[in-house]
Chains A and B, each alone.
Chain A
Amino acid sequence: MFEKELTVSDRQKLASVGFDESEHERSSSFAMIDNLPKHPHKAPAGIDILTLEQAWEKEPELMDGLCWQLVDPEKDEFTREVKANSGSGYLVRVKRGSRSILPLQACFFMRSDLLRQRVHNIIVLEEGSSLSIINGCVSGEEVSEGLHIGVTEILVGENADLSYTMIHDWSEGMEVRPRTAIRVLKGGTFISNYISIKRSKITQSYPTCHLQGNGATAHFNSLIYAPKESLYDVGARVILDAPESKAEIISRTISAGGEIINRGELIGLKPGIKAHLECSGMVLGEGGTIRAIPILEAAHPDVEMSHEASVGKIAQEEISYLMARGIPEDQAVSLIVRGFLDTDIFGLPPYLRKEVDKTVALLENAF
């Protein structure tokens, strides 16, 4: 797909974040290189995939009703920048009752150094529809510094379900500022998987999910590995604003010299709510910090909300245990870290697990 546009090593990076150029086991592909979107070759049944420019041309009324409805353009300097520059990206609309078995893939590739990539994505799942999206965010070998701002607005309709996965591989000097908001209607399910294991200068992400219909559900899963000189300020907020709605935020973070602020916020407003927050952090070596900030807020007596948070180094006892089986210390540490990042807890479907495990396996060489 990118034989002419990208170098072999850049294409390998894309593959490492789950973007398959052969489109094998993918329903379609969307790509954005620097600030230029590429229209997909394949048009799967029941799904519209348009660049934002095309969407404004073809569906101005729909776009009026969606654009900047969930994310406030005045939220901060980054949203203002996307608004002022009409950031490009995709509109994905899954038609009523349409259930795509193969995932849709998208990549946001920064090829030029010192670039400001401004992305605006909109996803709409109509009633009873289903979709899985894998987003790969990558900067090329030429990039030393840059800024990626991604505004994403997601509407999950009644009884629809969306699995939204982001896998990242940025350059060391990158600043990453996603601004995401999600609205889930009655019986709908939103699942987010966020994986970032490479060094970026700053990653700041705090999506807000509004559960607005009875029985709506949200899951946020994240794996973060912060090497030296990286700052991750990440987490998720779920506002449970409908009876019987459910939310779960699970994160596994590792600081290998970097700084992590791991946030999670659950706000329960209606009866019959169940929500759980679990943030586990592991500090490897010296110099890194992890701050876990779990917040629970209940505004109704009939809610069931809980959290577990832990931050610590690897237990010496566990290392000794594995070493007593003849496993050298560095390999014992690696086994424990891999175990800590075990994706079993996320309950990913097999195709996605394969991609995520591939990314996590890259960590084997990290220590």
Chain B
Amino acid sequence: MRVAGRSVLHGINLSVAAGETVILFGPNGVGKSSLFSALMGFPGYEVVRGTIRFKGEDLLPLNTAERAQLGIGIAFQRPPSIKGVKLKALGERISTAREESDRVSYFANNLGLSAFLDRDINLGFSGGETKRSEVFQLLLQNPSLSLIDEPESGVDIENIGVVGVALKTLLQRGNHINDRQKSGIIITHTGLILNYLNADRGVMLIDGGLSCSGHAREIFELIQERGYRECQKCLKKN
């Protein structure tokens, strides 16, 4: 895949089953967020070769809104602010299709966002408020597959708890293993999110490709111990 004419990712082969949560690891700038952008079909993220299939459907001909309507949602790492568009109005817009209007106040209350409903989206929000607002919107959208980009970055400990618990609900991680339909891919650097929800597996994105699929916690501990350099050495050996 290419971003602004530059090749960023190659040979990515990843499948996520219904009910599965996958942690995406990798050093800064390797293209983790770009992978999410390509999955969402954002302009400028061009898939040169290969396909992206979701629920059996080819996503490449679809635009971002159509993909979202099919059931893919994203929590942005650094979302833009939009002047004059209120969080409540957007929340209701996201939720309207599902005909459950009180969900807006319910989730806002859960995430401590009631006072933000009449504010312009993300305008002057702190790091934690931004993340809570992202998760709030995801909960309203309730997608089959959630792409969650660094839910802990710029967030204090208290907010991580709120975000973590909400994501656990969203991804049905509290349900019995046979009773989960929601899938998720989570990008994390700090690994803190793993204290709130268990992932089925972790994958490492490095040098433009995927490697080292395995137990999420184990991979994270290895990264903490030896850093990403070890992964690069390992890649060379193989």
Contacts and interface: CB of A to CB of B under 8 A. Distances in A.
Interface in A304-351: 315-318, 320-329, 332, 335-336, 338-342, 344
A341 B97 CA distance: 26
B68 A321 contact: no
B56 interface: no
B145 to A, nearest CB: 12
A326 B85 contact: no
Contacts, number: 71
Contacts of A332: 65
Interface stretch (B18-26, B71-79, B189-197, B224-232): B71-79
B84 A324 contact: no
Given A320-B42, A321-B76, A321-B79, A329 B84 contact: no
Contacts of A318: 80, 82
B83 A326 contact: no
A340 B85 CA distance: 8
Nearest to B97: A326
Interface residues of B, number: 25
A234 to B, nearest CB: 21
Nearest to B68: A326
Contact of B94 (A320, A326, A339, A344): A326
B120 interface: yes
A324 B73 contact: yes
A40 B11 CA distance: 78
A258 to B, nearest CB: 21
A321 B82 contact: yes
A335 to B, nearest CB: 6
Contacts of A327: 65, 68, 93-94
Nearest to B44: A316
A211 B84 CA distance: 31
A315 B73 CA distance: 20
A339 B84 contact: yes
A326 B84 contact: no
Contacts of B73: 324-325
A328 B76 CA distance: 18
A318 B78 CA distance: 12
6 contacts: A323-B68, A324-B42, A324-B64, A325-B93, A326-B94, A342-B85
Rank and list the top 6 A-B pairs by shortest CB-CB distance, nearest first: A339-B84, A342-B84, A326-B68, A339-B85, A323-B64, A323-B65
Interface of A: 315-318, 320-329, 332, 335-336, 338-342, 344
